Chains A and B, each alone.
Chain A
Amino acid sequence: MLAGKNSLPLEMDNGQSVMDAFFRVLEMVPALKPHWLDHDGQPHVFVHVFLNGDDAATLPGGLNTRLNDGDCLDFIPPVAGG
C-alpha cells in the first residue's frame, strides 16, 4: 500500500478526464510519483486505471474519458494470477 491508505475522495472540476484524475491523485499523494510515472512523466505501463470497474484503456475515450459525479477510479498493478 504505497499511499498508506487504499482509498481517498477526489474532487474534480466538470469536464475533467481520467488522466486528469490520475495526476490529481499524484498531487495529493506525491509518494506515488516514483512508482507511477516513467522518465517522461507519463503513466507507467504497469499502472492500470479502471473507471467504474472498466479498464479505462478499453473505453472509447481511453484515458481521456470524461468523469461524472460519483465515478470510482481504481489503480491496479499488473495481475498475472497466483
Chain B
Amino acid sequence: MDLLTVTQLKESHRLLKDFKYEVQPVVHGYANRTLYINLDSNTLAIKPVDQKMKDTFTGGKGFCLWLLWNAITSETKWDDAQNELVVAGGPIGGITAYPGSGKCTVVTLSPLTKSIIDSNSGAYFGPYLKFSGFDALEVQGKAKEDVVIFIDGDNGTVSIEAAPLDEVNTHLLSKQLTDLYGGETDKGKRAISVMSAGQAAEHVPMCGVNVSYWDSRRQEIRIKQAARGGAGTVLRNKRIKAIVVKYSETGGDSNGAANMELIRAAGKRINKEISDFDASQNDMRHLGTPYLVEIMNKFNILPVQNFRFGSDPEASKINGEVWKSMFDFRGPDGCWYGCSLQCAHAVPHYHLQSGPYKGEAVFVDGPEYESLGALGSNLGIFDPPAMLELCFYCDTYGIDTISVGNSMAFAYECYEKGILDKQKTGGLELTWGNAEAAYELLHQMARGDGFGVTVGQGVRVMKALFAEQYGANPQQLQDMGMEIKGMEISEYISRESLAQQGGYAMASKGPQHDEAWLIFMDMVHKQLPTFEAKAEALHYFPVWRTWFSLHGLCKLPWNDIIPVSNKTAKEPAKVPEHVENYCWLYEGLSGKKTSPEDLMAQSEKVYNFQRLFNVKMGFGTRQHDYPPYRLIGPATVEEYENRKDLYDTQLHEVIGVDPEGKSVEEKIRLVRRHREHQYEQLMDAVYLRRGWTNDGIPTQATLKRLEIDFPEAMAISAAHGG
C-alpha cells in the first residue's frame, strides 16, 4: 500500500495551536505538572501537581481518576465534549533497571459501561509523557476536524495540528507519524510513541487505544493496547487521530531517583531470577502468555463456544509451543527498556487473507492468551493463521479482542439456537469455527455497515435488541451473555471458582482480570476454603494489583516468575520477595522508608475512590455487581452434561441432594439456587471486609480512614447510606 511521503504528510498538516513550555527534570519520579488540552477552544495549559495530590492519589490511574472527577459531573455522558481522555504513566514508571516499567493507564467515561473505565498499556507513551514534563495528560472537548496532538519533550512544545490526510488505522498511522516526527534514524524513531485507535472506533463502542514503539532490531513498529472499555472510541469521538509524544534522552536515571542503588539492587535480584528460572517456569521469553492455553484447557478454564465449555481436543493447535515456532526472535521483546521478561512476541511476514489489506505481508504483534481465548477457542476457531488475521485487524482497526470475541461468540450461539439466521445476519453463517464470518464482522465494524456493527455494540446491547426485535427469551440471553456492567468478561471459565466470580463481578471497571486472578488459588490449590478467606483475597489482591497502575508498572514480573524464597514464604501467593522488591523501588525513588503496608495504603485510597466515582455516576452499587449465571454455574443442559460427574457429586456431597432420578433441568435448578445463594454470601463477606455497606458503598468511616474524606466524597457516601 502506498502511503503519503513524509513531505506530503507534513505539508498536509495545519497548525491550529501550539505553545512552548520549559522542560523540567523529573524529581523522585514526578514531573510535578499535568498537561490540559481542550479541543473545543484549542486551549493548552499546564496544571501543577501538589503534595496533597501525590499523597492521596500517588500517580498513574490515581491522577487520572482525580483529574476526571474534577472535569465532569454526574450527568456527563461518554460522548459529551465534557468527557475527558486522561493518560498517565506513574512515578516509578520509566525506570530501566527493573522489568515491566513502561506502562501507561488511560481513564475515561466508557461507551460500553457508561461509567468510569481504566485500561493499561505497555510501550513507551507513559514514560515519555513524564520525561517530556507531564505526570498526566487530559484531553477534553472535541476538535472540529481530525487532528494530531504532538507533545515534543525534546523541544518543549505542544501542538494541535489538523491532519486531514493521515491514515486512521494504526499499522499505517503509527508508521506515518513515527517517520514524520522521528525522522529517518533509529534514534529518532525510538524517541516516538503514538497513541491511536482505528476505523472501527468511529462505529462501535468497544475500541481501545494502541500505543506504539519502534523496534530497531526488526525495523518494525510494535504496538501494545489499552484495549478494554472503549478509550479508542472516545479518542475518535473527539476527532483525534493520534497523540504523539517524543522524547530522545531516556537514561538510567531519568526519574531523578533519591537512591538509584536500591533500585538497581531490586533489578539485579529479579533479573537474575528471570535469567535462572524463566525457562524452567513459564518460559515467557519464548512463549509469552500463550503458554496459558494448554494449562487452561487442562483445568477446564479455557472458554469454548461462548464459555459453555472449558476445554476442547483441538486446543493444542493454538497452544504456546505452536506460537513459539512462529515467533520472530531476531531481537529482544520487552515493551520498555530494561525488561528482562520480554514477553511481547510477534509473528512476521503474515499474508493477510481478507479485508482492505488482503495480500499484504504484515507484522502481527501477539497473539496474547486473551486473544487466543476470545477469538479462538471461544468461537471454535483453532487455526493459527486465522488467529493472526483476526488479531491483526483487531489491532489496526482498534478493536478490543476480548470484547469483540465474546460479542461474536454470543452472536454465534444465538445463531446456533435459531435466534439469528442468515436473513438477520446479512447472509453470514455464524457457525462455530467459521473464521471467514468473523473476519467479515470485523471489516463491517470498520466500514460501519452490516450486521458487524450490531455485534460491535457489545453483548449487553445485543441482549436487549434480540429480545425486543426477535422475541428471544430475555432470561436465556441474560444467562448466556458474558458481560458484566456492559463490558465483556475476560477469558477464564470461572464456574468452579467462587472467588474469581467475585473478582470479575465486583471489579469497578468491569470484568477484567486486571483486579483479581484467583482461579488457581481458589479452585486448584484450594487456598481459599471459606467465605472469609475468599473475602480477604478479594480485598488484598484487587488493592495490591491496583498499585501497579498507580506507578506505570506491569504485573507480570510480580507473579509470572517465582523466586526460590517462595518455598518458605508464609503467604506464597503474594510472592513476598517481589513485594519487597517493589518497596525497594519506591524507597529508592522517593527516599522514604517503605513497607508493604505503605504500598497497600497508596492503593486502597485509589481503589475506594474509584468505587465512589462509579457511585457518583449512578453505578457502583450492589445491583451492578452480579454476573451472568453462566459465569457461576451450568446454565444449559449441554453445560451440565459436559461435566455431569462433577455436578452430580456436588449435588450429593455439598448440597445434600441425591441426583438419582432427577431430570437435568431439575438438577440445574437445584445447583443454581445453591450457587446464587453462595454468591450473595460472598458479596456480603467482601463488602464487609472492604469497609463498604451491604449495598457496596464505601462508608464514611472507610473514607476517613483512607483520608479521602473530602466533602463531595462524604456527601456521596452519606446519600447512599454509607
Question: Interface code B550-588, partner A: CB below 8 Å = 1, 0 otherwise?
Answer: 000000100111101011000010000000000000000
B68–chain A nearest beta-carbon distance, Å:
27
> B321 at interface (Cβ–Cβ under 8 A)?
yes
Residue of B with least CB distance to A76: B295
Which residue of B282, B559, B564 is within 8 Å of A44 (Cβ)?
B564
Cβ B281 vs Cβ A78 within 8 A:
yes
Assembled-state Cα–Cα distance A2/B294 (Å): 14
Which residue of A6, A44, A57, A81 is within 8 Å of B280 (Cβ)?
A44
> B333 at interface (Cβ–Cβ under 8 A)?
no
Assembled-state Cα–Cα distance A2/B289 (Å): 17
Residues of A within 8 A of B294 (CB): 6
> B214 at interface (Cβ–Cβ under 8 A)?
no
> B400 at interface (Cβ–Cβ under 8 A)?
no
Assembled-state Cα–Cα distance A34/B281 (Å): 12
Assembled-state Cα–Cα distance A62/B721 (Å): 48
Which residue of B279, B295, B490, B572 is within 8 Å of A35 (Cβ)?
B279
Assembled-state Cα–Cα distance A15/B561 (Å): 35
Cβ A46 vs Cβ B566 within 8 A:
yes
Residues of A within 8 A of B368 (CB): 82
| B251-279 contacts to A (CB < 8 Å) | 277, 279
> A55 at interface (Cβ–Cβ under 8 A)?
yes
Cβ B567 vs Cβ A45 within 8 A:
yes
Assembled-state Cα–Cα distance A48/B295 (Å): 12
Residues of B within 8 A of A76 (CB): 295, 298
Assembled-state Cα–Cα distance A48/B560 (Å): 14
Total number of A residues with any Cβ neighbor in B under 8 Å: 24
Assembled-state Cα–Cα distance A42/B86 (Å): 50
B480–chain A nearest beta-carbon distance, Å:
23
Highest count of chain A CB atoms <10 Å: which of B368, B524, B561:
B524
A59–chain B nearest beta-carbon distance, Å:
10
Cβ B295 vs Cβ A79 within 8 A:
yes
> A74 at interface (Cβ–Cβ under 8 A)?
yes
A18–chain B nearest beta-carbon distance, Å:
15
Residues of A within 8 A of B370 (CB): 82
Question: Interface code B292-303, partner A: CB below 8 Å = 1, 0 otherwise?
Answer: 101100110000
Residues of B within 8 A of A6 (CB): 294
Question: Interface code A38-60, partner B: CB below 8 Å = 1, 0 otherwise?
Answer: 10000011101010010101100
Residue of B with least CB distance to A34: B280
Residues of B within 8 A of A79 (CB): 282, 292, 295, 520, 524
| B494-533 contacts to A (CB < 8 Å) | 513, 517, 519-520, 524-526
Cβ B292 vs Cβ A82 within 8 A:
yes
Number of A-B contacts (CB under 8 A): 71
Residues of A within 8 A of B279 (CB): 2, 35
Residues of A within 8 A of B289 (CB): 82
Which residue of A35, A45, A50 is within 8 Å of B562 (Cβ)?
A45
Residues of B within 8 A of A57 (CB): 525
Residues of B within 8 A of A46 (CB): 277, 280-281, 562, 566
Residue of B with least CB distance to A32: B280
> A8 at interface (Cβ–Cβ under 8 A)?
no
Which residue of A1, A55, A77 is within 8 Å of B525 (Cβ)?
A55
Cβ B281 vs Cβ A82 within 8 A:
no
A interface majority secondary structure: loop
Cβ A78 vs Cβ B562 within 8 A:
yes
Residues of B within 8 A of A1 (CB): 321
B468–chain A nearest beta-carbon distance, Å:
35
A22–chain B nearest beta-carbon distance, Å:
15
B559–chain A nearest beta-carbon distance, Å:
4
Residue of A with least CB distance to B299: A53
Assembled-state Cα–Cα distance A46/B559 (Å): 11
Highest count of chain B CB atoms <10 Å: which of A2, A35, A79:
A79
Residues of A within 8 A of B564 (CB): 38, 44-45
Residues of B within 8 A of A35 (CB): 279-280
Given A46-B277, A82-B513: A77 in contact with B526 (beta carbons within 8 A)? no
Residues of B within 8 A of A36 (CB): 280
Which residue of A53, A55, A58, A77 is within 8 Å of B281 (Cβ)?
A77
> B369 at interface (Cβ–Cβ under 8 A)?
yes
Residues of A within 8 A of B491 (CB): 82
Cβ A74 vs Cβ B298 within 8 A:
yes
Cβ A78 vs Cβ B559 within 8 A:
yes
> B492 at interface (Cβ–Cβ under 8 A)?
yes
Assembled-state Cα–Cα distance A57/B520 (Å): 13
Cβ B526 vs Cβ A55 within 8 A:
yes
Residues of B within 8 A of A44 (CB): 277, 280, 564, 567
Cβ B572 vs Cβ A45 within 8 A:
yes
Residues of A within 8 A of B517 (CB): 80-81
Residues of A within 8 A of B519 (CB): 81
Which residue of A2, A50, A55, A80 is within 8 Å of B560 (Cβ)?
A80
B213–chain A nearest beta-carbon distance, Å:
21
Assembled-state Cα–Cα distance A82/B566 (Å): 21
Assembled-state Cα–Cα distance A35/B282 (Å): 11
Known: A38-B564, A76-B295, A78-B560. 5 other contacts (CB 8 A): A55-B525, A74-B298, A77-B282, A78-B559, A82-B369
Residue pairs across A and B with Cβ atoms less than 8 A apart, 14 shown, are A38-B564, A45-B567, A45-B572, A46-B281, A53-B299, A74-B298, A77-B291, A77-B295, A78-B281, A80-B517, A81-B492, A82-B289, A82-B370, A82-B513
Interface residues of A (CB under 8 A from B): 1-2, 6, 34-36, 38, 44-46, 48, 50, 53, 55, 57-58, 74, 76-82
Instruction: Give 8 nearest A-B pairs by CB, closest first.
Output: A81-B517, A35-B280, A45-B567, A82-B369, A80-B559, A46-B562, A82-B289, A78-B562
